[in-house]
């Protein structure tokens, strides 16, 4: 199911895995390229799993349409974290201030071996008109986000 109401996209998928297994994968930035359905995530810089709000993890990224060049790095500031239930981060170019958009994965237990994953991309807090124009939200589509959930489901199967 997809909810596409700018300035937010929400997709859902039931995954045949316990929430703890899904959360372990999501909290490991080294595995984000494996599940990325947009083709923009290349690799984590470092291999430390996410354990607390306030942490920052760095990702190597690639985007063809990017005016400043195809390859870049992002700082990802963890803003929500509840083990086995929720993880979210806001993104900025390295050494820059986050502009107000975030990515979130919420895990809803259906039973011990089944988890509904709700993946949200929200840019409602972006208020700088220059950022809105330069970035061109949304950066990814609902279909790409759904592909992420499909890849996630395969990775934890």
CATH of the domain at 127: 3.30.530.20
Chunked into runs of 10 residues, the chain (157 residues) has average pLDDT values of: 78 98 98 96 94 97 72 96 98 92 96 96 91 84 97 97
Pairing of strands 71-82, 86-93: antiparallel
Provide the pLDDT for residue 121. Answer: 97
d(CA 154, CA 132): 34
pLDDT score of 136: 81
The DSSP secondary structure of 101-133, one letter per residue, reads: -EEEEEEEEEETTEEEEEEEEE-TT---HHHHH
Domains contained in the chain, number? 1
Please give the radius of gyration of the chain, using alpha carbons only, rounded to the nearest integer: 15
Region at 84 (left for phi over 0; alpha for psi -120 to 50; beta for the rest)? left
pLDDT at 63: 84
Q: What is the pTM of this model?
A: 0.92
If one counts every other C-beta atom within 10 angstroms of the C-beta of residue 132, the result is 15
Residue-number span of the structural domain to which 37 is assigned? 2-156
Which helix H or strand E contains 23, and what residues bound it?
helix 19-26
Q: Are 56 and 75 in contact (CB under 8 A)?
A: yes
User: Alpha carbon of 144 to those of 10, 36, 46, 85: distances in Å?
Assistant: 11, 8, 25, 22
Q: Which of 152, 151, 148 is nearest to 2 (CA)?
A: 148
**What's the pLDDT score for residue 154?**
98
């Amino acid at each position: 199911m997809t909810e596409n109401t700018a300035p937010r996209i929400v997709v859902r998928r039931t995954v045949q895995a316990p929430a703890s297994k899904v959360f372990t994968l999501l909290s490991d930035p080294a595995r984000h390229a494996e599940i990325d359905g947009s083709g923009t995530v290349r690799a984590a810089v470092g291999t430390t799993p996410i354990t607390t709000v306030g942490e920052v993890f760095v990702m190597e990224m690639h985007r063809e349409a990017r005016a400043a060049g195809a390859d870049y790095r992002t700082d990802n500031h963890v803003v929500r974290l509840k083990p086995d239930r929720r993880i979210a981060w806001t993104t900025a170019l390295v050494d820059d201030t986050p502009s107000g958009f975030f990515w979130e994965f919420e895990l809803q237990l259906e039973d011990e071996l089944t988890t509904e994953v709700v993946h949200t991309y929200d840019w409602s807090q972006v208020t700088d008109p220059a950022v809105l124009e330069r970035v061109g939200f949304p950066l990814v589509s609902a279909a790409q986000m759904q592909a992420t959930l499909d890849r996630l489901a395969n990775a934890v199967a």
